[in-house]
Amino acid sequence: PAWSGSVAFNGQTIAGLGAGRIVDLGLIHVPEGRHVFPNLTVRENLELGAYRRAKANRARNMDHVVDVFPRLKERFGQKAGTLSGGEQQMLAIGRGMMAEPELLILDEPSIGLSPLLVEEMFDLIGKLKADGLTILLVEQNVLQSMEIADRAFVMENGQIRLSGKPSDLMDDPDLQRAYLGLA
């Protein structure tokens, strides 16, 4: 819960709204930690993402998700709890995509993944961006995030300390010294 300030999406204050209403507005959050339903299949997990969307769109949305994450289609009948960490993260993002997001918030999608899977995850996020999906990425891998971002914000203790185009921020000696340990 917010202690102060406000949160608005498309001009509408969303603080205090229920999760279902926020989903209806097109704001989808994929939380840190790969929250999948381990005893449900991959297909069932994906279908849950579309629970507030028109049934007529579900097949099209499913096709889109498996186009982006073909490995999920190979595992449709498999229990989500048996997937690797990277596959579970793909499933969590895919479930978010099933909700037809206008804005997809990805919270630490690379956390706990091997370096190879981190690279794959960033490639997939870049593909979603290239497909026109608006993404708010909260991520510890600053350099990789900056490579795919159009705009970046550096927060410290809940306050935005720096913001701008990634190329400008990467040239900022204060950012390099304080957050990247470079300067």
For the chain, what are the domain ranges? 8-149, 152-183
pTM for this prediction = 0.88
The greatest distance separating any two alpha carbons of the chain, rounded to the nearest whole angstrom, comes to 54
Instruction: Say if CB 46 and CB 91 are below 8 A apart.
Output: yes
pLDDT number for residue 99: 94
pLDDT mean by block of 10 residues, the chain; 183 residues = 79 91 95 93 96 86 93 96 94 96 96 90 93 94 91 85 88 74 60
The architecture (CATH level 2) of 8-149 comes to 3-Layer(aba) Sandwich (3.40)
**Of the candidates 45, 43, 48, 40, the residue with the CA atom closest to the CA atom of residue 20:** 48
